[in-house]
Amino acid sequence: MKPSIEIIEPKLFSGTVADEIVASIAEFVAETGRCTIALAGGSTPGAVYRDLARPPRVQEVEWPKVKLFLGDERWVPSDDVQSNLKMVRETLLVNLPSPGPQVFPVNTTLPNAEAGAKDYERQISSAFSLKTAELPRFDLVLLGIGEDGHTASLFPGSPLLAESGGICSPATKPEDKSVRVSLSAATLFSAKKVFFIAKGEGKSSMMRRVIEGNEPIEQIPARLYQRATGAVTFFLDSGAGRELEVAKGRA
Among 72, 121, 139, 243, binds ligand 6PG (CB under 6 A): 72
Nearer to ligand 6PG, 65 or 107 (CB): 107
214: contact with ligand 6PG by CB under 6 A: no
Per-residue mark of binding to ligand 6PG, 108-147 (x: CB under 6 A): ------------------------------------xxx-
Rounded to a whole number of angstroms, the minimum distance from the CB of residue 71 to ligand 6PG is: 6
Q: How many CB atoms lie within 10 A of CB 97?
A: 11
Q: Are strands 231-237 and 193-198 parallel, antiparallel or unpaired?
A: parallel
Per-residue mark of binding to ligand 6PG, 141-160 (x: CB under 6 A): ---xxx---xxxx-------
Rounded to a whole number of angstroms, the minimum distance from the CB of residue 96 to ligand 6PG is: 21
Query: Count residues contacting ligand 6PG (CB under 6 A)?
Result: 15
Nearer to ligand 6PG, 152 or 228 (CB): 152
170: contact with ligand 6PG by CB under 6 A: no
The full 3-state SS of 34-74, as one line of letters, equals: CEEEEECCCCCHHHHHHHHCCCCHHHHCCHHHEEEEECEEE
CA atoms of 90 and 46, how far apart (whole Å): 9
Among 14, 24, 83, 84, binds ligand 6PG (CB under 6 A): 84
Nearer to ligand 6PG, 42 or 156 (CB): 42
Nearer to ligand 6PG, 121 or 237 (CB): 237
87-91 own/partner pairs: CB under 8 Å, 24+ apart: 87/41, 87/43, 87/45, 87/46, 87/49, 88/39, 88/49, 91/45, 91/46, 91/47, 91/49, 91/50, 91/53
CA atoms of 247 and 211, how far apart (whole Å): 12
> Closest Cα partner for 48 from 109, 106, 91, 108?
91
Rounded to a whole number of angstroms, the minimum distance from the CB of residue 154 to ligand 6PG is: 8
232, 4 Cβ separation under 8 angstroms: yes
Rounded to a whole number of angstroms, the minimum distance from the CB of residue 70 to ligand 6PG is: 8
The interface with ligand 6PG within residues 21-60 (CB under 6 A) comprises 40-44
> Closest Cα partner for 171 from 115, 223, 222, 113?
113
Q: How far is CA 189 from the centre of its chain?
A: 10
Nearer to ligand 6PG, 63 or 195 (CB): 195
Q: How many CB atoms lie within 10 A of CB 78?
A: 15
Nearer to ligand 6PG, 66 or 197 (CB): 197
CA atoms of 145 and 156, how far apart (whole Å): 12
Site residues (vs ligand 6PG, CB under 6 A)? 40-44, 71-72, 84, 144-146, 150-153
